[in-house]
Amino acid sequence: MVNCPVCYNSFDKGDYKGLSEHMISEASESNYEHVSWLNRNISKDRLGGDELEKKISRFYSLESKGIKRWIIDNFVLNFRGENPHPFILGMQKYDENLLKGYAVEHHHFLKQWIKSCAYVIAKSDFDDIHDYEMENIMTEMQGFGNRKPSHHELLIRMGISLGLRREEILNSTPLETTMRAIRTWEKIAEKKTWIEIMAAMHSLELVANRDLNRYGAKYPYFNPEILKDMGVKQEVKNFLREGYEADVSHSYVALDIIEKYAEKENLEDIQSAYLNSARVFGEYMEARIERGEMYKNKQ
Amino acid sequence: MVNCPVCYNSFDKGDYKGLSEHMISEASESNYEHVSWLNRNISKDRLGGDELEKKISRFYSLESKGIKRWIIDNFVLNFRGENPHPFILGMQKYDENLLKGYAVEHHHFLKQWIKSCAYVIAKSDFDDIHDYEMENIMTEMQGFGNRKPSHHELLIRMGISLGLRREEILNSTPLETTMRAIRTWEKIAEKKTWIEIMAAMHSLELVANRDLNRYGAKYPYFNPEILKDMGVKQEVKNFLREGYEADVSHSYVALDIIEKYAEKENLEDIQSAYLNSARVFGEYMEARIERGEMYKNKQ
């Protein structure tokens, strides 16, 4: 099955004709989201039916590369390429309001994150996957004792160092955009297979991957000068450094697992789950900016 | 909703009339499993419709006790009371074949166990529940480094000390009875709410609870003399001791969580999930005996 990456309309496996006709129909009604997805992922030109079908078919084709590389290339294009996500642009300088927005919205992201990872454990039978996801949940939310606080705890401490109260973050209501994204991830976790959930969730970790330059990334997740800046709070450095200093090889483990277990029969399902997730992730990252703006305007 | 504890036929919430009519109809056809459940849980006498309905209604009623105590009382009655489960009887002396059967079948039980616990995390939003289930999965399947092997690892080592090979356990096919029980737990985990899953799974841990005497248990899970017996393999002692020496107060944490979050609206669902699970647990424990017999007959 192939889904429209924008509105999740589903088409038969390999029915790129149906998908391209749907795209043309949406674009002709100037549906902004469909047009914007086509511009970025397929072509900036308005294409005819046959040509669009051919290009969409090529877009989904793995050609000689595997699903891992396909995901990486698409992710770089959408988030860290020539035309990066605005949140990435914002992170090229130290912006306390943006980081406060990050702290609040990302708290909600992480709460859903571990539920999605738990669904992967619940739905799979493989020890390597159970081990991987258990370590992931521990790292993100539980931590390993006092000496190794969780990523979530480091996030909260960053927020506090910037003037937020712990309860303010924990009891916050996520912005509507964040909520919509969370609902999508929840639905993927409930309805889809473990490998689709993994593709949907762990691909998103590429956003902070330091190694993406060799796949064409033009921007780092954040300007690494921030880590050396004397004016930057230690808690901010602790949070950002965690991802920045992670073992690069470790950052591909999930994609390697997906590549190992993917089969011809479910490749398109995996691609669809990834595309749906990446799309709402882009929107969710805008919610971090929006929340940052709210803090800025409050000052 | 109330389910028949034997065949899972479902009736409207509070429809004990429907359930008792169903029981009478099954009993009149001498359906062994329904008769046996009635004998143990309701009455050994063959009762008329009204009287059975009254007794069944009283059976589900919590009266002044909470759901925690209701589960404990029923569990003791079914597994560790005057008429205990045959596996419990078998464990009153040291029986290597029985323990080998335990090792093989319980490997499959634990594989399902952690998936059920992962479903609880996936479906709940409460930190205390996430923390509890994460620790549970770590203890049962992951362990905490070399110095604290998982319960699963201790089980495997017990099997090896009794002459099995690790691969023999890991690659074994569960007996049909075990498989049927696992399918029930899987279905509960997939279809039910987190609190029903918790009631279904964590109630089963009562089987090894050392504290049940004060709730009327007549038999310990195993004869504690085994732990002192010079003729008993150290690995057997290590496995049995793990549960035996667990902090007693810790053994009620899950039931306390269930009592904390249970609401009038879902009490019957929780009771049904527990009853369904306890029933197949009894069958599954017979599979441990059956597998033990197979080892005995091989000698």
| Interface contact B134-A142, CB threshold 8 A | yes
Smallest CA–CA separation between B116 and chain A, in Å? 6
d(CA B128, CA A86): 36
CA distance A208 to A87: 12
Which DSSP category does B174 fall into? P
Task: Chain A: give the shortest CA distance to residue B233, in Å.
Answer: 28
Q: Looking at chain A, which residue has its C-alpha nearest residue B122?
A: A115
Show the tokens assigned to B296. Answer: 């005995």
Helix/strand/coil (H, E, C) string of A193-262? CHHHHHHHHHHHHHHHCCCHHHHCCCCCCCCHHHHCCCCCCHHHHHHHHHHHCCCCHHHHHHHHHHHHHC
Domain boundary among B61, B77, B107: B61
Contact A217, A80 (CB under 8 A): yes
Whether B131 sits inside 8 A of A142 (CB atoms) is: yes
B142 and B89 inside one domain? yes
Tell whether A121 is within 8 A of chain B (Cβ): yes
Mean pLDDT on A113-119? 97
Q: How would you classify the pairing of strands B2-3 and B10-11?
A: antiparallel
**Rounded Cα–Cα distance for residues A14 and A298 (Å):** 50
Residues A50 and A73 placed together within one structural domain of the fold: no
Same-domain check for residues A132 and A86: yes
pLDDT of res. B248? 75
Residues A187 and A97 placed together within one structural domain of the fold: yes
In terms of pLDDT, which residue wins out, A177 or B249? A177
User: pLDDT (tens digit, 9 = 90+) per residue, A17-63?
Assistant: 999 999 988 888 878 889 988 988 898 888 888 899 999 999 999 87
Q: Do B176 and B230 lie in a common domain?
A: yes
Q: Is A118 on the interface with B (CB under 8 A)?
A: yes
Evaluate whether A262 touches A67 at the Cβ level (below 8 Å). Answer: yes
The full length of chain A comes to 299
Q: Do B138 and A134 touch (CB under 8 A)?
A: yes
- A115 inside 8 A of chain B by CB: yes
Q: Which residues of B touch A137 (CB under 8 A)?
A: 121, 134
- Do A147 and A49 share a structural domain? no
The closest alpha carbon to A88, from A209, A252, A230, A236, belongs to A209
* Inter-CA distances, B122 with A52, A109, A111, A182, Å: 39, 14, 10, 13
pLDDT of the residue at B221: 95
Nearest-neighbour CA in chain A from B121: distance (Å): 6
Instruction: With 0.90 as the threshold, say if the pTM is over it.
Output: yes
Residues A131 and A266 in one domain: yes
A45 and A84 share a domain?
A: no
Phi/psi at B222 (nearest 5 deg)? -150, 160
Instruction: Answer whether B178's CB lies under 8 Å from B105's CB.
Output: yes
Same domain, B234 and B259: yes
Contacts by B153-156 with C-beta closer than 8 Å and gap 24+? B154/B235, B154/B238, B154/B239, B154/B242, B155/B102, B155/B103, B155/B106, B155/B107, B155/B110, B155/B239, B156/B103, B156/B107
pLDDT of residue B133: 95
Q: Which of residues 122-151 of A touch B (CB under 8 A)?
A: 122-123, 125, 130-131, 134, 137-138, 141-142
User: ipTM of the predicted structure?
Assistant: 0.91
- Taking CA atoms, what residue in B is nearest to A191? B190
State the Cα–Cα distance between residues B201 and A245, nearest whole angstrom: 40
Provide the domain limits for residue A102.
64-297
Within 8 A of A118 by CB-CB distance, chain B residues are: 118-119, 121-122
Is A118 in Cβ contact with B118 (below 8 Å)? yes
CA angle in degrees (0–180, nearest 5) for A234-A239-A244: 110
Structural domains counted in chain B: 2
CATH at B276: 1.20.910.10
Nearest to A198 by CA among A115, A117, A105, A79: A117
**Along the 299 residues of chain B, how does pLDDT read in single tens digits?**
888 988 888 899 889 999 999 998 888 887 888 998 898 889 888 888 889 999 999 999 987 889 999 999 999 999 999 999 999 999 999 999 999 999 999 999 999 999 999 999 999 999 999 999 999 999 999 888 888 999 999 999 999 999 999 999 999 999 999 999 999 999 999 999 999 999 999 999 999 999 999 999 999 999 999 999 999 999 999 999 987 777 777 789 999 999 999 999 999 999 999 999 999 999 999 999 999 999 999 87
Among B14, B39, B61, the domain-final residue is B61
Both A57 and A97 in a single domain?
no
Single residue among B38, B61, B84 that ends a domain in this structure: B61
CB of B114 less than 8 A from some CB of A: yes
Indicate whether B19 and B118 sit together in one domain: no
- Which of A116, A123, A137 is opposite residue B134, by nearest beta carbon? A137
State how far Cα B154 lies from the chain centre.
20
Mutate to test the interface with B, among A107, A116, A123 (most CBs of B within 10 A): A123
Nearest-CB residue to B115 (from A111, A122, A142): A122
- What are A266's two structure tokens? 């479910």
- What is the distance in angstroms between the CA of the first residue and the CA of the last residue of chain B? 49
Same domain, B49 and B72: no
Chain B contact set for A123 (CB, 8 A): 115
Which residues in A22-41 are b (16+ Cβ under 10 Å) and which e?
A: bbbebbeeeeeebbebbeeb
- For residue A145, the model assigns a pLDDT of 83
Residues in A closer than 8 angstroms to B137, CB to CB, are 121, 134
Cα–Cα nearest to B294, from B211, B173, B208: B173
Question: What's the pLDDT tens digit per position in A203-246?
Answer: 999 999 999 999 999 999 999 999 999 999 999 999 999 877 77
Residue A159 pLDDT > 80: yes
